[in-house]
Amino acid sequence: MPTTAVVTGAGRGIGLAFARRLAQEGHRVIVTDVDGDAAERAAVEIGGGAVGLQQDVRDIASHRRVAEEAAALGRLSVWVNNAGVLFAGDAWDYSDEQIATILDVNVRGVMAGSAAAVSQMRTTGGGVVLNIASLSALAPVPGLSLYAATKAAVLSYTTSLEGDLRHAGLPIRARALCPDVVNTQMVTSRATDPGAAMLFAGPKPLDEEAVVRAGMELMDSRQVFRVLPRWRGVISRAGDLTPSVGLELIGAMRKIGRRRQTGT
C-alpha cells in the first residue's frame, strides 16, 4: 500500500518545501492551506498524485476529515503540523482577535492535527508527527510574546505527546523542530514592523531547504526535538541561568534588529 503524508499550511514557504521533499521520498502528499487555491496550485506543482485541500486548522473536525482523506489514498505515515501565524507588538497591545487567532492556529491547530494523525496511524502501523515550533519557544522574545508563547506550548505539547505514545507502546513518534528565523514571506513581510525587530537581530535567516533537511533527519532520529542551528539553542538555554542578564542581552539585540530594519 502506498504511504501518504499530510502537511498543513503548505501553500507556500516551509510547508510547501516539506511537501515537495516528502513527495520526492515517495509519499503521496496531501497539501492543506487556509487558501484553497494556493493548496491546489502547490499540489499541481508537486505532482506525483499530490492533493490540495482547503483547511482552516482552527476547525478541529477538519483534521479528522483530512486524516480520513489521507487514509483513503494510502497508509498515513507522516503528518507535519506547519500552519502558523505571527503577530508583532508589545504584549499588552494585541487585539482580542489577534489573541484568539494565534492561539487557535498555532496551538489548537497543532494539537488537533496531532490527535487526528495519531488516531489514524495507530490503526495502520504507525508513523511520525512533526510539529514546527521555533527557537522562540526557548527564550524571551520581546515584541513577539504571543508567538513565542504559542511555540513554547507546541514544544511542551510535543514532548508530552511523545511520552504518552511511548507509555502506550504505539509505533508513532512525535517530534518538534525549533528553527531560528527562516527567510519566508511571514518574516519578510515584517521588515518595517518595529514590533518584529527581534526577527532581524540575529545571523542570516535560514533557508527553507535547511529547515526541511533538519526536519527530515529529526523524524528518523531518536531525538524528540531539535534546535536549528544547534548553537542558537545553547545560547538560548544559557539565558535561563541568569534571566536578568539574558533579558538585557535580548534588549540590546532588539535595538540591533530595529537599526537593521531602518538602515540606521
Residues designated catalytic: 147
Which amino acid is located at 245 in the chain? V
CA 114 to chain centre: 12
Dist CA 253 CA 141 (whole Å) = 10
Q: Retrieve residue 71's grid coordinates.
A: 487514509
Q: Retrieve residue 53's grid coordinates.
A: 485541500
Q: Which of 202, 184, 215 is nearest to 257 (CA)?
A: 202
Which amino acid is located at 238 in the chain? A
Dist CA 19 CA 27 (whole Å) = 9
Dist CA 162 CA 6 (whole Å) = 19
To which residue does cell 480520513 refer?
68
Give the chain's end-to-end CA distance (angstroms, integer): 58
* Beta bridge partner(s), residue 7: 31, 80
CA dihedral 7→39→179→220, nearest 10 degrees, is 30
To which residue does cell 507522516 refer?
78
Q: For residue 139, what are the CA distances in angstroms to 1, 106, 243? A: 43, 17, 10
Give 249: exposed, middle or buried? Use CB within 10 Å, 0-12, 13-18, 19+: middle
Dist CA 101 CA 112 (whole Å) = 15
